[in-house]
């Protein structure tokens, strides 16, 4: 999957808490804070991960063509996560709509929904081994009456005050190292957390790294300590004893590396499972939660197998919870059921999107189901209790193929479900020169019948989102496409400033979305690495002429070194401001020069692993590191020679 991910990342990536009053059957209702209609507090809008906002009527199929830019906030790198929108009480302002979104520049941003102005930013600690360091989205929940943001970066889950950005705690899904490189520890949380009854649920991915393996976690939302850990490879649920204060954990490092008591694995329930890494067990999907059944549903990623005992790959078939849809008990982490479409797969036809929870009619009876799309191009629907009421086995009620799929194709990102329909985008497939189309789809939720497919749609790696009558899908073409939910007709195309890997979030008649794509780790010379460094915006759109939305839209270009306005003919004009004027780029400050914000921090990183970069008064210096220093060529081990990384023979 490494090759596939690197290629996907050159185009797009999105993976990647509802309040405690979530609907008890886990249906598609988005559940904002009681009394509020201005929120999208978790990935997908609710614990059901439906990506559907049923009560939003500000945008309709009749006025979607009039969506115009409202504001743009440019960060220091790409933005692939979902904007999360919550009303919080800001000092001196009262209840304020705030948009929370992380950027790959290493910061979480809190922006005012009305105008995109910065409330606060928080700088994450570094993790050089993370390929997708800030890909997961935030969740906002009330913990002991305080609005709290839960967000992951690298291998670390953070709890922050939603009003001030002040840190509360950190939990590391690994050793917590801040200098471990791409060949040392690739643990990363690109799963978006879900919060229910004071517990945070999320997955961890190792990006197929040789000595690692992923898993799924439950962490105390108040204290930041481990509640349980599900080892995907072995199917074991590890539970600390009461009073244990576990803040670093995974399924393959030893007790000393994780700061645990020497006897921890032998004396705690379910913790004595095999701990060798096998490049499997990864979860870059998120969890969908059914409060009534007290189950969390998720899906696992790629697991290659072979018969060579000298390799880390397990022998076929795959371990039982890899490349699977499965349900875990919320309280214990014990598995309730598991299903997967194939027992052996070295073509990376795994799952990445989060499962959707909804209802369908089965033989005249309403059944609660879980649905999820795969990279094999199929969407699957299973009973939430596992057993198919018709067949008596654990298998789908239906499965529908949209495209042939492939390692960079199929339904990689999450679908949207509402009003008895499913909407999903599909990705490239296997070959950039022969992209699989149509790439935008609608299905009947009960039968799986294809209702429409748009031949003009551009492939997408972004989750789909929807409101009654209107569907939003990102694309590799730098735009969010707006479709008629019933017919698939393109109603509008919103330019967002880069490939749209972030899902479009619709709240109170406004659309919020990020832009950009890429991958870190590996060779800094790789295209995916370079594109991940591009300054990229968070954008907001509104319906022209509605309250707070200019008739012609805003001319905000997201550049603090220009003044934005219109000429007498109504065209946007972005004039440079005087050189030397103070400016900002995301969380970074600088001064304007020729309409560009030059940062005060002299940026001397040449993205060469084989040089030491230092800043001097006369400029940057790049000194070769000692020969034989380990480095990475693409995804393979290398060694420095005269300041250049060369492959190890």
Q: What is the CATH number of the domain that holds 300?
A: 2.140.10.10
Cα three-residue angle 412-414-418, rounded to 5 degrees: 145
Could you tell me if 507 and 494 are in contact, meaning their C-beta atoms sit under 8 angstroms apart? no
Residue 108 in any domain: the answer is: yes
Residue 532 in any domain: the answer is: no
Q: Is residue 480 located within the same domain as residue 625? A: no
The count of domains in the chain is 2
Q: Is residue 487 located within the same domain as residue 610? A: no
Q: Which domain holds residue 341?
A: 2-55+80-492+499-504
pLDDT score, position 602: 55
pLDDT score, position 616: 60
Of the candidate ranges 92-106, 173-187, 518-532, 544-558, the one whose mean pLDDT is the lowest: 518-532
Q: Is residue 476 located within the same domain as residue 615? A: no
pLDDT score, position 36: 43
Residue 559 in any domain: the answer is: no
The single residue listed with the structure tokens 């690739």 is 186
Residue 541 in any domain: the answer is: no
Q: Residue 23's pLDDT band (boundaries 50, 70, 90)?
A: very low
Over residues 394-411, the pLDDT tens digits come to 999 999 999 999 999 999
Could you tell me if 195 and 150 are in contact, meaning their C-beta atoms sit under 8 angstroms apart? yes
Average pLDDT, integer, range 569-574? 94
CA–CA separation, 244 vs 480, rounded Å? 47
Beta strands in 48-144 (DSSP E): 67-74, 84-90, 94-103, 107-112, 118-123, 139-143
CA–CA separation, 538 vs 558, rounded Å? 9
pLDDT score, position 13: 37
Of the candidate ranges 119-128, 136-145, 612-621, the one whose mean pLDDT is the lowest: 612-621
Answer with the one of 477, 504, 531 that is the final residue of a domain: 504
Q: Is residue 478 located within the same domain as residue 615? A: no
> Burial of 616 by CB count in 10 Å (0-12 exposed, 13-18 middle, 19+ buried)?
exposed
Using DSSP's 3-state secondary structure scheme, residue 350 falls into coil
Q: Is residue 265 located within the same domain as residue 141? A: yes
Instruction: Quote the DSSP letter at residue 578.
Output: P
Q: Is residue 487 located within the same domain as residue 606? A: no
Beta strand pairing status for 118-123 and 107-112? antiparallel
Residue 62 in any domain: the answer is: no
Q: Which pair of tokens denotes residue 549? A: 């939305």
Could you tell me if 425 and 464 are in contact, meaning their C-beta atoms sit under 8 angstroms apart? yes
Average pLDDT, integer, range 331-360? 97
Residue 543 in any domain: the answer is: no
pLDDT at 11 over 50: no
Over residues 459-471, the pLDDT tens digits come to 999 999 999 999 9
Q: Which pair of tokens denotes residue 254? A: 């030893």
The kind and range of the H/E element at 191 are none
pLDDT score, position 1: 42
Q: Residue 546's pLDDT band (boundaries 50, 70, 90)?
A: very high
Beta strands in 239-323 (DSSP E): 288-290, 295-299
Q: Residue 634's pLDDT band (boundaries 50, 70, 90)?
A: low
Answer with the one of 445, 469, 504 that is the final residue of a domain: 504
**Could you tell me the sign of the dihedral formed by the alpha carbons of 332, 333, 334, 339, in that order?**
positive
Cα three-residue angle 346-375-288, rounded to 5 degrees: 115
pLDDT score, position 603: 57
CA 280 to chain centre: 19
Q: Is residue 627 located within the same domain as residue 479? A: no
Beta-sheet strand order (sheet of 167-172): 139-143, 146-153, 156-161, 167-172
Of the candidate ranges 361-375, 446-460, 600-614, the one whose mean pLDDT is the lowest: 600-614
Over residues 310-332, the pLDDT tens digits come to 999 999 999 999 999 999 999 99
Q: Is residue 485 located within the same domain as residue 620? A: no
In percent, the amount of the chain with pLDDT more than 70 equals: 92
CA–CA separation, 369 vs 121, rounded Å? 39
Q: Residue 601's pLDDT band (boundaries 50, 70, 90)?
A: low
Residue 525 in any domain: the answer is: no
Q: What is the mean pLDDT of the chain?
A: 91
Answer with the one of 504, 528, 562 that is the final residue of a domain: 504
pLDDT score, position 284: 95
pLDDT at 276 over 80: yes
Residue 66 in any domain: the answer is: no
Q: Residue 578's pLDDT band (boundaries 50, 70, 90)?
A: very high
């Amino acid at each position: 999957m490494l090759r596939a991910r690197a290629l996907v990342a050159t185009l797009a990536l999105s993976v990647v808490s509802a309040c405690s009053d979530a609907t008890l059957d886990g249906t598609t209702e988005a559940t904002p804070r009681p009394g509020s209609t201005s929120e999208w507090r978790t990935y997908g809008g609710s614990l059901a991960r439906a990506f559907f906002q049923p009560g939003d009527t500000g945008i309709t199929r009749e006025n979607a063509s009039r969506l115009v830019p409202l504001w743009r906030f440019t960060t220091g790198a790409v933005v692939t996560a979902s904007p999360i929108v919550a009303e919080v009480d800001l000092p001196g302002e009262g209840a304020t709509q705030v948009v929370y979104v992380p950027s790959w520049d290493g910061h979480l941003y809190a922006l005012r929904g009305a105008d995109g102005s910065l409330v606060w930013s928080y700088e994450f600690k570094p993790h050089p081994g993370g390929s997708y360091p800030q890909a997961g989205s935030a969740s906002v929940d009330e913990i002991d009456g305080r609005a709290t943001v839960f967000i992951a970066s690298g291998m670390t889950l953070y709890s922050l005050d939603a009003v001030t950005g002040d840190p509360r705690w950190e939990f590391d899904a690994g050793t917590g190292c801040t200098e471990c490189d791409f060949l040392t520890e690739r643990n990363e949380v690109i799963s978006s957390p879900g919060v229910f009854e004071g517990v945070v649920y999320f997955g961890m991915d190792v990006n197929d790294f040789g000595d690692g393996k992923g898993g799924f976690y439950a962490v105390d939302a108040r204290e930041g300590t481990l509640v349980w850990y599900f080892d995907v490879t072995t199917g074991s649920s590890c539970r600390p004893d009461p009073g244990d204060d576990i803040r670093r954990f995974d399924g393959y490092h030893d007790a000393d590396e994780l700061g645990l008591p020497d006897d921890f694995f032998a004396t705690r329930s379910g913790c004595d499972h095999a701990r060798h890494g096998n490049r499997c067990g990864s979860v870059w999907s998120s969890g969908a939660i059914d409060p009534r059944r007290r189950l969390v549903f998720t899906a696992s990623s790629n697991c290659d197998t072979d018969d060579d005992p000298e390799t880390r790959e397990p022998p076929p078939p795959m371990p039982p919870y890899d490349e699977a849809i499965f349900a875990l008990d919320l309280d214990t982490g014990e598995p309730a059921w598991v299903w997967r479409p194939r027992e052996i797969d070295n073509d990376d036809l795994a799952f990445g999107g989060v499962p959707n929870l909804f209802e369908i009619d089965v033989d005249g009876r309403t059944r609660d189901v879980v649905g999820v799309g795969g990279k094999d191009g199929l969407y699957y629907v299973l009973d939430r209790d596992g057993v198919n009421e018709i067949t008596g086995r654990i298998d789908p009620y239906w499965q529908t193929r949209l495209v042939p799929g492939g390692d960079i194709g199929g339904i990689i990102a999450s679908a949207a479900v509402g009003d008895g329909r499913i909407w999903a985008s599909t990705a490239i497939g296997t070959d950039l020169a022969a992209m699989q189309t149509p790439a935008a789809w609608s299905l009947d939720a009960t039968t799986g019948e294809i209702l429409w497919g748009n031949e003009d749609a551009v492939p997408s790696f972004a989750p789909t989102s929807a409101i009654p009558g209107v569907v939003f899908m990102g694309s590799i073409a730098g735009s969010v496409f707006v479709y008629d939910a019933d017919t698939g007709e393109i109603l509008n195309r919103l330019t967002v400033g880069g490939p749209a890997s972030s899902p479009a979030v619709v709240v109170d008649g406004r659309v919020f979305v990020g832009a950009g794509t890429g991958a870190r780790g590996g060779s800094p010379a790789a295209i995916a690495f370079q594109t991940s460094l591009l300054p990229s915006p968070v954008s907001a759109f509104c319906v022209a002429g509605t309250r707070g939305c200019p008739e012609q839209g805003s001319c905000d270009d997201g550049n603090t070194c220009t003044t934005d306005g219109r000429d007498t003919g109504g065209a946007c004009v972005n004039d440079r401001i005087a050189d030397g004027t103070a400016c900002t780029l995301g969380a970074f400050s600088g001064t304007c020069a020729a309409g560009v914000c030059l940062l005060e921090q002299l940026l001397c990183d040449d993205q060469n692993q084989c040089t030491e970069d230092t800043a001097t008064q006369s400029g940057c210096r790049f000194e070769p590191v000692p020969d034989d220093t380990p480095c990475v060529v693409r995804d393979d081990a290398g060694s420095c020679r005269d300041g250049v990384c060369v492959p190890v023979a």
